[in-house]
């Protein structure tokens, strides 16, 4: 399937936004990073809104969503519900931050925000888990989206933390853990694509008479052509490079510098986008007849 | 009720008359197809066989009007829905063009109409079958390979109607249950049936 750019941007940005939201809740739970709480909340909100706007460019008749939208088994409906819940939690978070005397929110809300952010990642990723497309219909895809959040969230907050000169957040360790998780989940999804190839239905030498000399689809050849993009782009640049930089930055024992965190974040986001391009390029239907 | 087609692949000559009939009757845009005829093969007739011991068959493919359609589950506006006659239809006025149904269909038979910006596919010529007529691909099948009927009412398919006011029971050669196939099923339970005798069915079911 052709890459659907609005959806690629949407899923990447939602993963990023949820990563920021969950990371700041973790820091609040630990009682660290007081200065970064409000800027991080605003950042995660803005990123979520941009992602939400991006997805509208995918819809051909978005004005019709006011006419009977909301079929509950639809992934789009579930995504919308999840994002509305996130927005409500962001408002509550904002209010509690403003009223807080110590600059942190209640522990129960921190835990709830982490759960809601992770659940939103799962819901967004689950929308694409369809038995019709073996490369998509894997739990590893959900892990990959959560992994993107784990890496992009701490790195974004590391930038905010450095800009705010707040060294109390222990973001060096959190960044190492987050980028490490991203490496593992990205590799697992990459490996799962090999398993997906076996699930495609082959009708042997089947041809479309309107293009009689052309095979309908060559899954193995497409898979081979995507391997460079997957392993060099999504895994090496998008996951391993940020991990290496996070490990090296951790040796400074403080908050990673703006430059290091920015380079790492750009690499993670680029890797997330590349992974989604591979996701679409490998997204053949189980029987590609058209 | 489950209106559907049964296709006798031993009778299909691959003329693509159904393809042209569908295009003309439904005004299918250039580049879009509501049905196609695939050539499956040539493949060896038996293990180790070499030319000329090869065989092939033609496979007309279109929306399979599934019993449990994935496209209906993912539609956020219920534009894609199961009609009372068992066919899967699209209410174009409700379609927001999100194309998740295109992604969810295991056979890729749905197309975005770029002009109307809605998704379209085979309707089994709903405008005709509701009036008691046949889908155009059935009535114009020169090989009398395509047959239309209600699978729930007649699981034997003998009463299914084809061109020239004939029925499947009085026209096609005998077949066994082992000769009846479906396209690969990933939980959607396609309603179309394909009859293939004396040749090996290629692909999963």
Q: What is the pLDDT of residues A127-179, one digit of tens each?
A: 999 999 999 999 999 999 999 999 999 999 999 998 888 777 678 889 999 99
Residue A121: cis peptide before it, omega within 30 degrees of 0: no
Measured CA to CA, the distance from residue A243 to residue A126 in angstroms comes to 26
Task: Please give the Cα distance from A158 to B113 (Å, whole number).
Answer: 46
Q: Is the residue at B100 inside a domain?
A: yes
Q: Which residues from B are below 8 Å from A205, CB to CB?
A: 40-43, 56
**CA dihedral of A271, A276, A277, A278, whole degrees rounded to 10:** 90
Q: Is the pLDDT of residue A212 over 70?
A: no
Domain containing residue A100: CATH number: 1.20.1630.10
Is residue B115 pLDDT above 80, yes or no? Answer: yes
Across the interface, of B43, B117, B203, the residue whose CB is closest to A201 is B203
Domain coverage including residue A186: 5-281
Vertex B9: Cα angle to B45 and B13 (nearest 5): 95
Q: Which residue of B has its CA nearest to A75?
A: B74
Name the residue among A184, A193, A182, A172 with its Cα closest to residue A16.
A182
Residue B149 has pLDDT above 60, yes or no: yes
Structure tokens belonging to residue A88: 């409500």
The number of C-beta contacts closer than 8 angstroms across A and B is 144
Q: Which of A266-275, B46-55, B184-193 has the lowest mean pLDDT?
A: B46-55
Residue A101, pLDDT > 90, answer no
Asked whether residue B76 is assigned to any structural domain, the reply reads yes
Domain membership of residue B205 (yes or no) is no
Instruction: Name the token pair of A227.
Output: 């391997």
Q: Is residue A180 part of a domain?
A: yes
Residues B166-192 as b/e (b if ≥16 CB within 10 A, e otherwise) read ebbeebbeebeeebbbbbbbbebebbb
> Considering the domain boundaries, does residue A287 fall inside one?
no
Q: What is the mean pLDDT of chain B?
A: 95
The distance of B98 to chain A (nearest Cα, Å) reads 5
Q: Structurally, how many domains does chain B consist of?
A: 1
Q: Give the domain CATH number at B17.
A: 3.30.70.20
pLDDT at B66 over 90: yes
- This complex has an ipTM of 0.89
Q: Is residue B131 part of a domain?
A: yes
pLDDT digits (tens, 9 = 90+) for A20-29: 999 999 999 9
- Asked whether the beta carbons of residue A60 and residue B39 sit closer than 8 angstroms, the reply is no
The answer to whether residues A71 and B75 touch, using CB atoms and an 8 Å cutoff, is yes
Any domain includes B150: yes
Average pLDDT score, chain A: 90
Interatomic CA distance for residues B186 and B181, integer angstroms: 14
Q: Which two tokens stand for residue B81?
A: 């829905």
Chain B neighbors of A74, CB-CB under 8 A = 73-76, 100
| A190 has a pLDDT exceeding 70 | yes
Residue B167 lies in a domain: yes
**What is A9-54 written as a DSSP string?**
HHHHHHHHHHHHHHHHHHHHHHT--TTTHHHHHHHHHHHHHHHHHH
* Percent residues over pLDDT 70 in chain A: 92
DSSP state of B3: E
Query: For position A15, what pLDDT does the model report?
Result: 97
Q: Among A59, A61, A209, whose Cβ lies nearest the Cβ of B14?
A: A209
User: Residue A228 class from Cβ within 10 Å (0-12 exposed, 13-18 middle, 19+ buried)?
Assistant: exposed
Residues within 8 A of A (CB atoms), B 117-136 only: 117-118
Residue A175 near residue A169 (C-beta atoms within 8 A): no
**pLDDT at B158 (0 to 100):** 96
In chain A, how many domains are there?
1
Residue B94 has its nearest CB partner, among A67, A76, A205, at A67
**If you count them, how many residues does chain B have?**
205
A204 has a pLDDT exceeding 60: no
Q: Is residue A63 part of a domain?
A: yes
Q: What is the pLDDT of residue A206?
A: 64
Sign of CA dihedral A54, A55, A57, A63: negative
CB A278 within 8 A of CB A189: no
**Torsion sign over Cα B159, B177, B199, B65:** positive
CB-nearest to A204 from B37, B112, B202 is: B202
Nearest beta carbon to residue A204 from set B40, B97, B188: B40
**In-domain check, residue A288:** no
Chain A residues in contact with chain B using a Cβ-Cβ cutoff of 8 Å: 1, 4, 58-62, 64-65, 67-71, 73-77, 127-128, 130-133, 201-210, 212, 216, 283, 285-290
Residue A241: band (very low, low, confident or very high) from pLDDT cuts 50, 70, 90: very high
Cβ–Cβ gap B77/A131 under 8 Å: no
Cα(A264)–Cα(B188) distance, integer angstroms: 43
Question: Would you call B59 and A61 a contact, using CB atoms and an 8 Å cutoff?
Answer: no
Please report residues of A whose CB lies closer than 8 A to that of B77: 64-65, 67-71
In a domain, B200, yes or no: no
Residue B68, pLDDT score: 96
Question: What's the number of CA atoms in the CB half-sphere (13 Å) around residue B100?
Answer: 28
Which pLDDT does position B13 carry in this prediction? Answer: 95
Domain assignment of residue B22, given as a range: 3-195
- Compute the radius of gyration of chain A from its Cα atoms: 20
A37 within 8 A of A23, measured Cβ to Cβ: no
Task: Beginning with the edge strand found earlier in the chain, give each strand of the sheet holding B193-195 in spatial order.
Answer: B146-150, B3-8, B193-195, B180-181
Cα-based distances in Å from A67 to A134, B44, B64, B79, B95: 32, 54, 28, 10, 10
- Using an 8 Å CB-CB cutoff, list chain A residues near B59: 203, 206
- State the pLDDT confidence band at A202, using cuts at 50, 70 and 90: low
């Amino acid at each position: 399937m052709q890459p659907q750019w609005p959806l690629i941007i949407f899923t990447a940005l939602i993963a990023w936004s949820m990563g920021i939201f969950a990371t700041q809740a973790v820091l609040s739970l630990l009682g660290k990073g007081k200065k970064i709480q409000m800027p991080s909340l605003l950042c995660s909100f803005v990123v979520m809104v941009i992602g939400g706007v991006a997805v509208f460019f995918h819809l051909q008749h978005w004005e019709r969503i006011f006419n009977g939208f909301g079929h509950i088994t639809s992934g789009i409906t579930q995504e919308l519900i999840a994002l509305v819940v996130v927005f409500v939690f962001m408002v509550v978070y904002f209010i509690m931050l403003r009223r807080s005397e110590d600059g942190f929110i209640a522990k129960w809300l921190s835990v709830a925000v982490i759960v809601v952010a992770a659940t939103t990642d799962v819901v967004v990723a689950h929308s694409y888990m369809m038995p019709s497309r073996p490369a998509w219909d894997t739990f590893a895809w959900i892990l990959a989206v959560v992994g993107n959040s784990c890496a992009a969230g701490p790195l974004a907050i590391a930038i905010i933390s450095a800009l705010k000169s707040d060294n109390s957040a222990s973001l060096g360790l959190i960044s190492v853990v987050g980028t490490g998780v991203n490496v593992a989940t990205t590799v697992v999804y990459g490996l799962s694509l090999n398993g997906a190839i076996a699930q495609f239905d082959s009708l042997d030498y089947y041809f479309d008479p309107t293009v009689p000399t052309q095979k309908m689809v060559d899954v193995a050849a497409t898979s081979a052509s995507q391997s460079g993009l997957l392993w060099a782009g999504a895994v090496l640049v998008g996951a391993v490079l940020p991990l290496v930089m996070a490990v090296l930055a951790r040796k400074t024992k403080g908050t990673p510098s703006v430059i290091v965190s920015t380079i790492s974040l750009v690499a993670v986001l680029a890797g997330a986008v590349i992974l989604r391009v591979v996701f679409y390029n490998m997204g053949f239907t189980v029987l590609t007849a058209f | 009720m489950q209106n559907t087609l049964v296709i006798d692949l031993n009778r299909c000559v691959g003329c693509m008359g159904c393809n042209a009939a569908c295009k003309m009757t439904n005004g299918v845009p250039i580049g879009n197809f509501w049905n196609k005829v695939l050539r499956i093969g040539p493949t060896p007739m038996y293990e180790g066989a070499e030319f000329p011991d090869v065989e092939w068959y033609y496979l007309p493919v279109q929306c399979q009007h599934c019993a449990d359609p994935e496209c209906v589950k993912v539609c956020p506006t219920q534009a894609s829905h199961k009609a009372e006659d068992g066919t899967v239809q699209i209410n174009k006025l409700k379609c927001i063009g999100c194309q998740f149904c295109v992604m969810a269909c295991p056979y890729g038979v749905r197309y975005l109409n770029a002009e109307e910006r809605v998704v379209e596919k085979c309707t089994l010529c709903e405008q005709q079958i509701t009036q008691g007529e046949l889908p155009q691909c059935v009535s114009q099948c020169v090989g009398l390979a395509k047959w239309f009927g209600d699978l729930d009412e007649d699981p034997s398919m003998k009463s299914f109607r084809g061109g020239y006011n004939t029925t499947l029971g009085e026209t096609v050669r005998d077949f066994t249950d082992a000769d009846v196939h479906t396209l690969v099923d990933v939980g959607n339970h396609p309603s179309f049936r394909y009859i293939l005798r004396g040749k090996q069915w290629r692909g999963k079911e």
